[in-house]
Amino acid sequence: MKPTRTVGLFFAVLCACLGIPRAHAEPGFVYFNATVYTADPERPRAEAIAVRGSTIVAVGTREDAIRALRGTQPPVGSDKWIDLRGRTMLPGLIDAHGHLAGLGALRVGVVDLAGTTSYAEVIERIAARAAETPKGEWVLGRGWDNESWDNPDDQKALPTHDALSAAVPDHPVWLARVDGHAALANRAAMDAADISPETTSPDGGEVLRRDDGSLTGVFVDNAESLVERAIPAAARGDPESMIRAAQQACLSAGLTSVHDMGVHPATAALYRDLSERGVLKLRVHAACPSAFAMRYFEENEPYRSERFTYASAKAYIDGAMGSRGAWLLAPYDDRPAYTEGERAGQPYTGLSVQEPAFIEALARHGLEKGYQVFTHAIGDRGNREVLDAYERAAKSTGRNLAAARFRVEHAQLLAPSDIPRFAELGVIASMQPTHCTSDMRWVEDRVGTKRAAGAYAWASLLNSGALIAGGSDFPVESHNPFLGFYAAITRQNAEGMPDRGWRPEERMTRAQALRSMTLDAARGAFMETFTGSLTTGKRADFIVINRDIMACDPAEIPGTRVLQTFIDGEQVYLAD
Ligand SMILES: [Zn+2]
């Protein structure tokens, strides 16, 4: 859909004859007869946009578009005029927290266990994969969720490896839980990783055991690396095909930009290469894992282009709430004390995965070297520690924290007194609405009703002046942004339950939800100067969808289909 060379040449010659300056001479495209939501607070609605090259040159009425392209535009009816026949146009959607390689891996090798409804079904899928895999090679899977299994005995019990080991004895198997904060190994995997009942739990992690001391096969948070270090890189698939597969999935879902959490410097080099070769269409804002970040940014400048940036670091203060790794201010309601090991009987408040002092040192380094810091924080203690660490780093360096746009990733459970601190400090809350609707079934079991008032507190944060960058955390949740939009405005599951939504006072309005997935997500990556809204002068990143999500019945939103996706004015996806 870009002007062909011949047409370009024709117009260049024509313009030369007419004395029109070349820069303004190229014809553009006019997309008209559309319901346009711009996410631009100055002009939220429009019916047409004009695009020349990669840039939006007009947003408004058809007449505005004609005026902007005056003198260069072939007549209405030519192929430069695209009649959208009343369809809805949005800015390209942005996912502020995803894992592209993880999404790609599910399409090129790792067994997708999302949606399994029992442990038996998980085993069945893994055994089927093992049957077509040479003996001794690893079988990897991800996405199981014991909270969704129909287990008549104990809904919440984590699985034990025995049935899996019996069904798949000849392949090491490693299956990440849906949140990625716990994983299940079979016997062969534990053998391959030299794990025995004598293996101790590392700091910030737990090797789960039965009462008799034998291993259940489940490894939580930092303990996952005990097994992961034994997995050969090739078992996960080829990085370029994973990125290509993930990109395709994102473009067809209406995403034009993704903030990719935890990208190793070697993968960042691959991204840069793909971007220079024109293979990377998606705008990727990649964060370096904190384990490498300080050394990397000591030796390298933060890298920023419009297509790919490597100018941020991703750290973890705690684990996830599902596997009780979130770091809480007070003990869990459903596991108030350690039940085994030397700490048996002591209060259990979750895991501190990385020390607050480390987060502070990283934040200081980021402020000095000019890169952003993103820290995963789920529990109320974890969130407070991160805000404190950022604040101390800003004080000791004398730098402006708000200007550095540091973020808390997830910000799931907040103590009431910490909610206003996001706006006060200028820290961005990077939040994933579908986490709320997946977790709402058991959040109150974990933390009780009183603390749950600070869970996924979108409206409270927005009302306090905080900025929310919206995302999905794919492949933990689906990368489909319309599921996130639906969750944000309803706080209901796919069946429309609970009736008015879980803690409906914390819902977002549609305008807030759209903004979190466009302009404010772009701000979370310093990209709002050229994308994130349909505004004259910005890049032409937009999508056309089959229903008006700003006005339709909320129940119809999850079924929204993306018809076309454009980045830099180039059509990068067209539905068949
Ligand atoms: Zn994540």
> Ligand 1 centre from 261 Cα, in Å?
6
pLDDT of 63 higher than 50: yes
> Ligand 1 centre from 275 Cα, in Å?
23
> Ligand 1 centre from 222 Cα, in Å?
15
Report the candidate in 368, 304, 369 with the shortest Cα–Cα distance to residue 527.
304
- Structural domains present in the chain: 5-86 (2.30.40.10), 110-235 (3.10.310.70), 237-571 (3.20.20.140)
* 272 backbone φψ class: left, alpha, beta (φ>0; ψ -120 to 50): alpha
Task: Give the up-direction half-sphere exposure of residue 30: CA atoms within 13 A in the CB hemisphere.
Answer: 27
Mean pLDDT rounded to a whole number for the chain: 92
Q: In terms of DSSP H, where are the helices of 157-301? A: 162-167, 187-192, 224-228, 239-252, 265-276, 290-299
Identify the sign of the CA torsion 385, 390, 393, 398. negative
Q: Tokens representing 295?
A: 């050394």
> Ligand 1 centre from 315 Cα, in Å?
11
From residue 466, alpha-carbon distances to 110, 125, 316, 421, 469 in Å are 37, 43, 21, 9, 10
> Ligand 1 centre from 375 Cα, in Å?
10
Residue 94 pairs in a beta bridge with 257
> Ligand 1 centre from 575 Cα, in Å?
28
**Residue type at 261?**
M
> Ligand 1 centre from 209 Cα, in Å?
27
> Ligand 1 centre from 167 Cα, in Å?
31
> Ligand 1 centre from 469 Cα, in Å?
14
Higher pLDDT, 160 or 108: 160
Residues 6+ apart with CB under 8 A from 157: 146, 151
Res. 1 pLDDT band, cuts 50 70 90: very low
pLDDT digits (tens, 9 = 90+) for 487-536: 999 999 999 999 999 999 999 999 999 999 999 999 999 999 999 999 99
Residue 1 exposed, middle or buried by CB count within 10 Å (0-12, 13-18, 19+): middle
pLDDT, residue 74, reads 80
> Ligand 1 centre from 274 Cα, in Å?
23
Res. 139 pLDDT band, cuts 50 70 90: very high
Q: What is the mean predicted confidence (pLDDT) over 434-442? A: 95
pLDDT, residue 24, reads 52
> Ligand 1 centre from 262 Cα, in Å?
8
> Ligand 1 centre from 7 Cα, in Å?
46
pLDDT digits (tens, 9 = 90+) for 142-155: 999 998 887 666 55
> Ligand 1 centre from 540 Cα, in Å?
28
**Residue type at 298?**
E
> Ligand 1 centre from 377 Cα, in Å?
10
> Ligand 1 centre from 410 Cα, in Å?
8
> Ligand 1 centre from 374 Cα, in Å?
11
> Ligand 1 centre from 97 Cα, in Å?
6
> Ligand 1 centre from 98 Cα, in Å?
6
Judged by average pLDDT, the poorest of 91-105, 117-131, 331-345, 486-500 is 331-345
pLDDT digits (tens, 9 = 90+) for 20-47: 444 456 789 999 999 999 999 999 999 9
pLDDT digits (tens, 9 = 90+) for 361-413: 999 999 999 999 999 999 999 999 999 999 999 999 999 999 999 999 999 99
Greatest Cα-to-Cα distance within the chain, rounded to the nearest angstrom? 90
Torsion angle, CA of 536/537/538/540, rounded to 10 degrees? 70
Report the candidate in 509, 349, 472, 562 with the shortest Cα–Cα distance to residue 97.
472
> Ligand 1 centre from 519 Cα, in Å?
21
> Ligand 1 centre from 471 Cα, in Å?
10
Neighbours of 233 (CB within 10 A): 8
> Ligand 1 centre from 538 Cα, in Å?
29
> Ligand 1 centre from 463 Cα, in Å?
25
Specify whether the CB–CB gap between 89 and 542 falls below 8 A. yes
Q: Specify the residue for token string 């076309």.
A: 564
Q: Tokens representing 83?
A: 């009649």
pLDDT of 19 higher than 90: no
> Ligand 1 centre from 242 Cα, in Å?
17
pLDDT digits (tens, 9 = 90+) for 125-136: 999 999 988 899
Higher pLDDT, 3 or 313: 313
> Ligand 1 centre from 432 Cα, in Å?
10
> Ligand 1 centre from 49 Cα, in Å?
35
pLDDT, residue 151, reads 66
pLDDT of 12 higher than 70: no
> Ligand 1 centre from 280 Cα, in Å?
21
Q: Which helix H or strand E contains 231, and what residues bound it?
A: none
- What backbone torsions phi and psi does residue 261 show, to the nearest 5 degrees? -90, 120
> Ligand 1 centre from 119 Cα, in Å?
24
> Ligand 1 centre from 473 Cα, in Å?
5
pLDDT, residue 550, reads 98
